Amino acid sequence: MLGTSSPCSELEDQRLADLGKSLAHPARIRILRLLLATPGCIGGDIVDAVGLAQSTVSEHLRILKASGVITGEISGPRVCYALNPEALSLLADFVASLKLPANDACCIPEPKDAP
C-alpha cells in the first residue's frame, strides 16, 4: 500500500527505536561503559563486571552487535568487542534535534488518512 510514500519517517523511526532499545537495559549500558573504559576489552571480563550469567551477557552482547553499536571480532579463542559509536549518530542527531527551537527537522508526520 504505502511503502515508499514517506521519504524519511517510517524506516528511520524503526531504526531509531532499535537504537533506543539497544540502550534500554542497564546491563547493556554497563557493557558500553566497560568497553569505553577498557582498552581492549574481552568477553570474560564483561561477564564478571555485570554479574549476570555468561549466557545472559552473551545475549546482551548479541543485541548490541545486532544494532551495530558494538563490533565483535574473533581473535583466537576469544572475541574482541569494541565500540562502534558511529552507529549511534542517528540517535544522537535525533536527540539533538529535539533541543532545537521549533523547526521541522525532517518531515512532518502525515495522518494515515489518505485523500
Partner DNA sequence: CCTATATATCGGCAATCGACGATATACGAA
Partner DNA sequence: TTCGTATATCGTCGATTGCCGATATATAGG
One of 3, 40, 77, 101 touching DNA (CB under 7 A): 77
77 binds, among DNA, a copy of itself, none (CB under 5 to 8 A by kind): DNA
62 binds, among a copy of itself, DNA, none (CB under 5 to 8 A by kind): DNA
One of 19, 31, 35, 63 touching DNA (CB under 7 A): 63
- Please list the residues that pair with 80 across neighbouring strands: 42, 73
Cell of 32: 558500553
**Binding of DNA at residue 84 (CB under 7 A)?**
no
| Residues in Cβ contact with 90 at an 8 Å cutoff, skipping those fewer than 6 apart | 12, 15, 16, 19
Per DSSP, the three-state class of 115 is: coil
